[in-house]
Structure 1
Amino acid sequence: MKHNQVVIHNKVEIVEDGDDIVWAMDEHYRLTAFNSSFKARLKLENLGDAQRGMDLKKIYNGGGFFNPCKQGCERALKRYATTSKHTFEDNGEIVVHEFSFQPFMNSSGEVVGCCIWQKDITQEVDNNHRLRESERKYREAQEVADVGHWNWDMVKNEITWSDQLFRIFGQDPKTFEANYESLMGIIHPDDRKAFDEDVTQSIEERSQHDITHRIVINNGKIRYVHQKGKAFYNEDGQPVRMSGTTQDVTREVLSNRQIVEQNNELQNFVRIISHNLRSPISNLLMLSKIYEWGKDETNDDIVKKIENTTEALDQTIKDLHLSLSLKSADREKFREVAFADVMKEVEGLLSEEIIKNKATIKTDFSQVDTVFAAKSYVANIFYNLILNAINYTKKGVPPIVQITSEQNEDSIVLKFVDNGIGMELTPEKERKIFDMYGRLSGATEGKGFGLYLVKTQVEAMGGKIEVDSELDIGTTFIITFYKSN
């Protein structure tokens, strides 16, 4: 028996580093070896001082921390190595410990004892829980956004898809073998060449893979997907893998297509209506010119009202034509437009209004003095925003308009700041003032067509316009021209 205890003691690795608890016993449950962590735990559980030869059955039957050892040691003495996890409350916190039971056998193959290794795996369990929770949320986010991720191992020609990506492509993860060739088989035949060229260009030029294309899923249904990715290279500069995301954009593409079709139909409708109205409007205006005025006061008044109404209708038709013509801009005609040159032209056009209202126009184009755009559009933007500031000035206060430019990494920003009447700006009012015939107030003359034209021309050049206003303080119009457009 003493020989067996020596065998166990010699084979047990006494672990002193870290907090793991290691001890060993013989087949009679007598303690044969232990480390300092075991000794400290025994004292912590008020089970006395650890001594070789002590009976461990009483400790195992006592419950608490060592209770899991009873069943584990019984199985180990029957030649079954086992591992189990147990949860405890330690200083008010829930902890998880792992117990490993390993049988010891002598040279004759007889079980002469076992070794028990215990370690605190609370942090590991928490990390696993957090990882699973993170993965769950990530899967939910992909499902909500209808976007999946992928990774292409170029060396093995294997593509790994997320669960959502299998759903987007209408494939069964149990039967579909994802590689480049099988992916090309899903892509619409008319889009394969463009897709392959984009992938090749991305790899060769180390640029981003970014393309929207069609796929044909198993039932023959066509979907549109937006795919973005990036290639990665080894130490020799050879591409080894590519990863990215794929999003189902079918709804957006079809919606945009419908909007374009509806817009084209609307434009055709406007052209037809305006063409059909042009002749009767011209006839009415011509009749008013040949009418003999002064013979009948009542008739004069009626004809005058007809003439005014006809002229207003004629101007509306012209405004519609102008609006349609400004919806798009020919970038081939864009050039560098100097803000100072535009200001010189606009000040000449508005000289009468500026003098009459004692207006002051201040400019600062020191950060950036040009923009790549259509000069006529830029001039019209300056003209309408300055005129708008003059028209909406406070009574008895000379208008001051400050125009500044800013240079950003991806854009050029123009700001038109005035000291006018301002307004309590709500989202609805902000939208309304840029509508055709929208008005900031009814206190001034004009149709409110100017801001609509400004917004139309800014957007036609790929920019955007925003407004910030405060009642009795003034209004600021912010125009952003994007360099990438």
Structure 2
Amino acid sequence: MSELNPFLNYGIPLWENLRDFWQKTVQQKMDATVSRNDSFWAMDKDYKLIAFNDSFYQKLKKENIDDVYCGMDLKGIYNDIAFFRVCIEGCKEVFDHSNPISLFEISEEGMGQIHEFSFHPAMNIHGEKGCYIWERDITRDVHNILNLEDMEYRYREVQEVSNVGHWIWDIDKDEINWSDQLYSIWEKDRRNFTANYDSVVGMIHPSDRVRFLDHLEDCLQGRAIHDITHRIVLDSGEEKYIHTKGNLFRDASGNPIRLSGTAQDVTKEVMTHHKILEQNLELQNFVRIVAHNLRAPIANLLMLSRIYEWGQNKTNDDIVKNIEATSLALDHTIRDLNNSLSFKRTLKERVEEIHFKEILKDVRALLYREIKTTNASIDANFTAVSRIYSIKSYVSNILYNLLVNALKYSKDNVSPKIVISTEEKEDRIILKVSDNGIGMELTPERKSRIFDMYGRLSANTKGKGMGLFLVKTQIEAIHGTIDVLSEKGVGSTFIVGFPK
């Protein structure tokens, strides 16, 4: 066979009768098949092949049919070759009803490839019916659609989980397009709510509306980036906090034409933040009250130590000396704690160089009685890191509470052995406090609970559970971290990470 053209014609008389049809209707479709490698062929009402392209010829050749010619009978091919069996139904529909139809064939040999067969009626100048068929591999198209649908599903799922949606505001048309999640957040029905400038602004809380509009104007004028948290009022009267941020797009003349971005329901986060602020305020007031009530007794103890007649009795001298040291350390701690919970306002002003050895000395003085009563030993090694820059009162309180915890949860009839050490990480100074106490069985839930306020793991344990809560609060205030490793009956290790 000579070189195949995209459209084969062997000059049979029927082709002359169909010349106008092919030229006007089929030729452009035939040309389109060349770049796509689609198969294209035509037949008359007796299933005789009229014309075909090279792709059709190659498909038959793979089925060991080398003699492909115009006028050959296609019925045998449709019946014998599984790939072409859909043609029986397609051609019959065209001949019976003259309706175009598309059928699909999944090729198992082609690893699940999907092929579309399009059947179209044709008629020559004598009114005789024919049919032309266009077969194309749509596997990639179908997979792209399925992948797109899967991506859209996953995107919607992510929006639902994070409670965030996206929006686009066409400024000229005053049309705002919302994602499904935004309708859910604002509790609106897509069918009867039109999102535009007036309807959206109308739902913003009256107390936040002026601030929002001023911010929006700054964005449109290029003075700010759209990033704001505000309240909205739902139809039910419920209030929500919304964090919205976006980018502004301008035309060639610099005029704003579109603003698009995301909006997230942050009500839970804002309310949690408010609750923390309230707790911090209560804690500050508590510390101030305690400090005020303790200052007078401490001052009296220090005064008594000053008027005490030293040298009369060695035992009494030692006792009073210990009372004086403890009172001084307690006085320093109370003064530091009086301002220690004013976190962000005083953070930079109060940062200073702190020596771990000196902090431990003060804490040991405060815990002198407990250490002596339990016959505890404290082994400290600050060779790796001897000092840090932080807030002294915070570091003192952290170490104090960790030692109190180690002494409190020691084993019966076993002297507590406490090991304190430091080490340096890439972005952290690590302080470890280990003990040989009763230890704990820790699950992730129990681990988080021991740092909660009043977060004791058992009603049988001593204390109110405030110490570790204060430790965690102060560590987080200086952007540090705390973790705990523990084994029941063996002991616990608290690991504190201070930012460098």
* TM-score of the aligned structures, taking structure 2 as reference length: 0.65
Pick from 85, 88, 95 the counterpart of residue 103 of structure 2.
Answer: 85
AA matched with 1:403: T
C-alpha deviation, 1:84, in angstroms: 0.8
C-alpha deviation, 1:102, in angstroms: 4.0
C-alpha deviation, 1:351, in angstroms: 6.8
CA distance in 1, matches of 2:191, 2:40: 44
Checking the alignment, whether the CA contact within 8 Å between 1:24 and 1:115 is kept in structure 2 is: yes
C-alpha deviation, 1:116, in angstroms: 1.7
Which residue in the other structure is 1:122 paired with?
139
Deviations 1:180-203 (A, max 9, x none): 232112222222222234445566
Pick from 148, 172, 187 the counterpart of residue 204 of structure 2.
Answer: 187
Checking the alignment, whether the CA contact within 8 Å between 1:188 and 1:216 is kept in structure 2 is: no
Which residue in the other structure is 1:227 paired with?
243
CA distance in 2, matches of 1:131, 1:113: 38
Pick from 442, 453, 457 the counterpart of residue 426 of structure 1.
Answer: 442
C-alpha deviation, 1:86, in angstroms: 1.5
Q: Aligned runs of 1:7-406 on 2, under 5 Å?
A: 12=27, 13=30, 15-26=33-44, 28-45=46-63, 49-60=67-78, 64-73=82-91, 82-91=100-109, 93-104=111-122, 113-140=130-157, 142-143=159-160, 146-200=163-217, 204=222, 207=225, 209-217=227-235, 220-233=236-249, 240-249=257-266, 328-335=341-348, 337=350, 340-343=353-356, 345-350=358-363, 357=377, 359-362=379-382, 364=384, 369-371=388-390, 374-385=391-402, 400-404=419-423
Gaps of 5+ in 1: 283-320
Checking the alignment, whether the CA contact within 8 Å between 1:417 and 1:474 is kept in structure 2 is: no
Deviations 1:77-131 (A, max 9, x none): 689562413133422854432122345566x695674432101212322332343
CA distance in 1, matches of 2:208, 2:170: 23
Which residue in the other structure is 2:304 paired with?
none
CA distance in 2, matches of 1:222, 1:71: 60
CA distance in 2, matches of 1:330, 1:433: 19
Checking the alignment, whether the CA contact within 8 Å between 2:355 and 2:388 is kept in structure 1 is: no
Q: 1:201 to 1:90 in 2, by over 3 A?
A: same
Which residue in the other structure is 1:315 paired with?
none
Q: 1:447 to 1:54 in 2, by over 3 A?
A: closer
The more displaced of 144-153 and 347-356 is 347-356
Which residue in the other structure is 1:477 paired with?
495
Checking the alignment, whether the CA contact within 8 Å between 2:242 and 2:265 is kept in structure 1 is: yes
CA distance in 2, matches of 1:334, 1:191: 30
Per the alignment, in what secondary structure is the counterpart of residue 60 of structure 2?
A: helix
Q: 1:246 to 1:196 in 2, by over 3 A?
A: same
Gaps of 5+ in 2: 1-12, 298-333
Q: 1:117 to 1:380 in 2, by over 3 A?
A: same
Checking the alignment, whether the CA contact within 8 Å between 1:417 and 1:476 is kept in structure 2 is: yes
AA matched with 2:430: K
Deviations 1:368-408 (A, max 9, x none): 9434xx54233332444467679989989985422346565
Per the alignment, in what secondary structure is the counterpart of residue 359 of structure 1?
A: strand
Checking the alignment, whether the CA contact within 8 Å between 1:31 and 1:54 is kept in structure 2 is: yes
CA distance in 2, matches of 1:166, 1:109: 60
Q: 1:170 to 1:432 in 2, by over 3 A?
A: closer
C-alpha deviation, 1:42, in angstroms: 2.6
AA matched with 1:431: R
AA matched with 2:347: F
The yes-or-no answer on 1:415 pairing with 2:435 is no
Per the alignment, in what secondary structure is the counterpart of residue 96 of structure 1?
A: strand
C-alpha deviation, 1:231, in angstroms: 0.3
C-alpha deviation, 1:161, in angstroms: 0.9
Q: 1:337 to 1:42 in 2, by over 3 A?
A: same
C-alpha deviation, 1:258, in angstroms: 7.9
Q: Give RMSD over aligned pairs.
A: 5.1
Q: 1:35 to 1:227 in 2, by over 3 A?
A: same
Paired residue total: 423
CA distance in 1, matches of 2:57, 2:359: 92
CA distance in 2, matches of 1:117, 1:42: 15
Checking the alignment, whether the CA contact within 8 Å between 1:211 and 1:227 is kept in structure 2 is: yes
Q: 1:226 to 1:132 in 2, by over 3 A?
A: same
Q: Aligned runs of 1:445-464 on 2, under 5 Å?
A: 450-459=467-476
CA distance in 2, matches of 1:476, 1:259: 24
Deviations 1:324-343 (A, max 9, x none): 97894253322255564353
Per the alignment, in what secondary structure is the counterpart of residue 71 of structure 2?
A: coil
Deviations 1:27-66 (A, max 9, x none): 5532122223212323445667321111234444557333
Checking the alignment, whether the CA contact within 8 Å between 1:231 and 1:242 is kept in structure 2 is: yes
CA distance in 1, matches of 2:423, 2:214: 44
Per the alignment, in what secondary structure is the counterpart of residue 233 of structure 2?
A: strand
Per the alignment, in what secondary structure is the counterpart of residue 127 of structure 1?
A: helix
* TM-score of the aligned structures, taking structure 1 as reference length: 0.66
Checking the alignment, whether the CA contact within 8 Å between 1:425 and 1:468 is kept in structure 2 is: no
Q: 1:160 to 1:452 in 2, by over 3 A?
A: closer
Checking the alignment, whether the CA contact within 8 Å between 1:79 and 1:103 is kept in structure 2 is: no
Q: 1:205 to 1:464 in 2, by over 3 A?
A: farther
Checking the alignment, whether the CA contact within 8 Å between 1:148 and 1:247 is kept in structure 2 is: yes
Per the alignment, in what secondary structure is the counterpart of residue 103 of structure 2?
A: strand
AA matched with 1:401: I
